[in-house]
Structure 1
Amino acid sequence: MARTAKSVWENCLSFIEDNISPQAYKTWFEPIIAVKLADNSLSIQVPSKFFYEWLEEHYVKLLKVALTKELGEKAKLIYSIKMENTYGNKQPYTEKIPSSQRSNVSAQEVNVQLKNKSPELKNPFVFPGIRNVKIDSQLNPNYSFDNFLEGDSNRLARSAGMAVANKPGGTSFNPLLVFGGVGLGKTHLAHAIGVEIKDKYPEKTVLYISAEKFTQQFIESVKKNTRNDFIHFYQLIDVLIVDDIQLLSGKAGTQDVFFHIFNHLHQNGKQVILTSDKAPVDIQDIEQRLLSRFKWGLSAELQQPDYETRISIIKNKLYRDGVEMPEDIIEYLANNIKTNIRELEGAIISLIAHSSFNKKDITLSLAKKIVENYVKNTKREVSIDYIQKVVSDYFQMDIEVLQSKTRKRHIVQARQLAMYFSKKLTKASLASIGSQIGKRDHATVLHACKTVNNLSATDKQFKKYVEDLNKKLNS
Structure 2
Amino acid sequence: MNNEYRSAWEKCLNVIKDNVPSSSFKTWFEPIEPVKLENKVLTIQVPSAFFYEYLEEQFIDILRKTLRMVLGNGAKLEYNVVLSNKNSNEPYTVSYPTNNNNKIQNKPLTVPLKAEEKATIKNPFIIPGIQKLQIDPQLKPDNTFENFVEGDCNRLARSAGFAVAQNPGGTAFNPLMIYGNSGLGKTHLSQAIGIQVKENFPDKVVLYVNANKFQTQFTEATRNNNRNDFLHFYQMVDVLILDDVHEFAGKEKTQETFFHIFNHLHQMGKQLILTSDKPPIELKGMEQRLLSRFKWGLTADLQTPDFETRMEILRRKIYKDGITLSDEVLEYIASHVTNNVRELEGALVSLLAQSMLNKREITLELAAKLINKLVKNSKRELSIEYISKVVCDYFSMPVDALQTKTRKREIVQARQIAMYFSKSLTKYSLASIGAQIGSKDHATVLHACKTVNNLKDTDKNFRQFVEDIEKKLKM
1:165–1:196 contact (8 Å) kept in structure 2: yes
Any stretches of 5+ residues in structure 2 without a counterpart?
A: 1-116, 379-475
Matched ranges for 1:264-283 at <5 A:
264-283=264-283
Partner in structure 2 of residue 298 of structure 1 = 298
CA distance in 1, matches of 2:134, 2:119: 19
SS in 2 for 1:274: strand
CA distance in 1, matches of 2:377, 2:206: 38
Specify whether residues 129 and 223 from structure 1 end up closer, same or farther in structure 2 by C-alpha distance, changes over 3 A only. farther
**Per-residue deviation at 1:125?**
1.4
Specify whether residues 263 and 323 from structure 1 end up closer, same or farther in structure 2 by C-alpha distance, changes over 3 A only. same
SS in 2 for 1:143: coil
Partner in structure 1 of residue 55 of structure 2 = none
Partner in structure 2 of residue 330 of structure 1 = 330
CA distance in 1, matches of 2:363, 2:279: 41
Partner in structure 2 of residue 230 of structure 1 = 230
1:211–1:244 contact (8 Å) kept in structure 2: yes
Superposition misfits of 4+ residues, deviation over 2 angstroms: 117-120, 127-132
SS in 1 for 2:325: coil
2:239–2:272 contact (8 Å) kept in structure 1: yes
Partner in structure 2 of residue 210 of structure 1 = 210
1:120 equivalenced with 2:120 (yes/no): yes
Deviations 1:249-302, CA, capped at 9 Å, x for gaps:
100000000000000000000000000011111111000000000000001000
1:166 equivalenced with 2:162 (yes/no): no
Deviations 1:208-238, CA, capped at 9 Å, x for gaps:
0000000011111111111111100001000
Any stretches of 5+ residues in structure 1 without a counterpart?
A: 1-116, 379-475
1:119–1:229 contact (8 Å) kept in structure 2: no
2:122–2:128 contact (8 Å) kept in structure 1: no
CA distance in 2, matches of 1:133, 1:377: 52
SS in 2 for 1:230: helix
Quick one: which amino acid aligns to residue 135 of structure 1?
I
CA distance in 1, matches of 2:118, 2:174: 30
CA distance in 1, matches of 2:119, 2:130: 17
Deviations 1:123-173, CA, capped at 9 Å, x for gaps:
111238888511111111110000101000000000000000000000000
2:175–2:297 contact (8 Å) kept in structure 1: yes
Quick one: which amino acid aligns to residue 239 of structure 1?
V
**Per-residue deviation at 1:120?**
3.2
Partner in structure 2 of residue 244 of structure 1 = 244
Specify whether residues 161 and 302 from structure 1 end up closer, same or farther in structure 2 by C-alpha distance, changes over 3 A only. same
CA distance in 2, matches of 1:359, 1:132: 53
Matched ranges for 1:433-472 at <5 A:
none
Partner in structure 2 of residue 220 of structure 1 = 220
CA distance in 2, matches of 1:120, 1:150: 44
Deviations 1:184-218, CA, capped at 9 Å, x for gaps:
00000011000000011000000000000000111
**How many residue pairs were aligned?**
262
**Per-residue deviation at 1:121?**
1.6
Specify whether residues 245 and 118 from structure 1 end up closer, same or farther in structure 2 by C-alpha distance, changes over 3 A only. farther
CA distance in 2, matches of 1:166, 1:271: 11
TM-score, normalised with respect to structure 2 = 0.54
Partner in structure 1 of residue 352 of structure 2 = 352
CA distance in 1, matches of 2:269, 2:128: 31
Partner in structure 2 of residue 83 of structure 1 = none
Matched ranges for 1:278-427 at <5 A:
278-376=278-376
**Aligned-pair RMSD on alpha carbons?**
1.8
2:128–2:134 contact (8 Å) kept in structure 1: no
2:250–2:285 contact (8 Å) kept in structure 1: yes
Specify whether residues 128 and 196 from structure 1 end up closer, same or farther in structure 2 by C-alpha distance, changes over 3 A only. closer
SS in 1 for 2:292: helix
Quick one: which amino acid aligns to residue 188 of structure 2?
H
Partner in structure 1 of residue 146 of structure 2 = 146
2:191–2:208 contact (8 Å) kept in structure 1: yes
Deviations 1:385-409, CA, capped at 9 Å, x for gaps:
xxxxxxxxxxxxxxxxxxxxxxxxx
- Percent same amino acid at aligned positions? 57
SS in 1 for 2:241: strand
SS in 1 for 2:296: coil
CA distance in 2, matches of 1:148, 1:137: 19
**Per-residue deviation at 1:122?**
1.5
Partner in structure 2 of residue 176 of structure 1 = 176
Quick one: which amino acid aligns to residue 300 of structure 1?
A
Quick one: which amino acid aligns to residue 213 of structure 1?
K
2:153–2:302 contact (8 Å) kept in structure 1: yes
CA distance in 1, matches of 2:361, 2:199: 41
